[in-house]
Amino acid sequence: MEKKFDITLIKAVIGLGNPGNQYYKNRHNIGFRVLDELAAQYGASWKEADKMLYATIIHHDQPLLLIKPMTFMNDSGRVLPWLQKKGIKADQIVVVHDELEKKFGQVVMSFGGSHKGHNGLKSIIGMIGPDFWRIKVGIARPADRDEVSDYVLSNFPPDQEAQIPSIIAACIAHFLPN
């Protein structure tokens, strides 16, 4: 039986990305960009703690933590002990990340699964296992497998960057319907 998503059970949303302005518009940073827009829509401000930025919004009459790991992608899971100390379990977390296996702009929600080579997911799975929610934002795959690292760390081309606001809106609507 497939697990049904219920936003009222979610306590934290982790957006994956790399810290620093030079990475902000990279494909790999779409998770940060989704969370920045969500925080802006709710008028939330970012605070620092334990190698991360976090903000709290009130959604469906309950607090929802927004988390941006400031550890670089490969160590994204280092934010999990902080969440666990707050009593937040894996199935109460949504991770927003880029997805090579989806066409550009496709937004898919799923529960559980493997990391498929995504180092941010690999780090999180290493800390709490695979049973958490994911918002996968399609960035498509480069033709040459050897170019994946450069590809995810490059900016979206202008025609795709122009579509990012609507993709971010789709992410927010997808897991936080009104």
The yes-or-no verdict on residue 126 having pLDDT over 70 is yes
In a domain, 129, yes or no: yes
Closest CA to 135 of 174, 80, 96, 163: 96
CATH of the domain at 26: 3.40.50.1470
Domain contains 2:
no
Is 115 catalytic? The answer is no
Residue 21 lies in a domain: yes
The 10s digit of each residue's pLDDT in 22-38 is 999 999 999 999 999 99
| Residue in the structure block whose two tokens are 């997911």 | 121
Is 1 domain-assigned?
no
% of the chain with per-residue pLDDT over 90: 87
Residue 15 lies in a domain: yes
Residue 178 pLDDT greater than 80, yes or no? no
Q: Is residue 65 part of a domain?
A: yes
State residue 59's pLDDT score.
86
Is the residue at 107 inside a domain?
Answer: yes
Q: CA 32 to CA 115: how far, in whole Å? A: 18
Nearest alpha carbon to residue 45 among 32, 59, 56: 56
Q: What's the mean pLDDT in 110-122? A: 93
pLDDT the model gives residue 150: 95
CA neighbor of 34 nearest in space, from 97, 78, 91, 99: 97
Residue 90 lies in a domain: yes
Active-site residue among 28, 59, 118, 174?
28
Number of domains in the chain: 1
Reduce the secondary structure of the chain to three states and give it as a string: CCCCCCHHHCCEEEECCCCCHHHCCEHHHHHHHHHHHHHHHHCCCCEEECCEEEEEEEECCEEEEEEEECCCHHHHHHHHHHHHHCCCCHHHEEEEEEECCCCCCCEEEEECCCCCCCHHHHHHHHHHCCCCEEEEEECCCCCCHHHHHHHHCCECCHHHHCCHHHHHHHHHHHHCCC
Task: Read off the pLDDT of residues 129-170 as tens digits, 9 standing for 90 and up.
Answer: 999 999 999 999 999 989 999 999 999 999 999 999 999 999
- pLDDT at 7 (0 to 100): 86
- Tell me the sheet residues that pair with 15: 96
Residue-range definition of the domain harbouring residue 119:
7-175
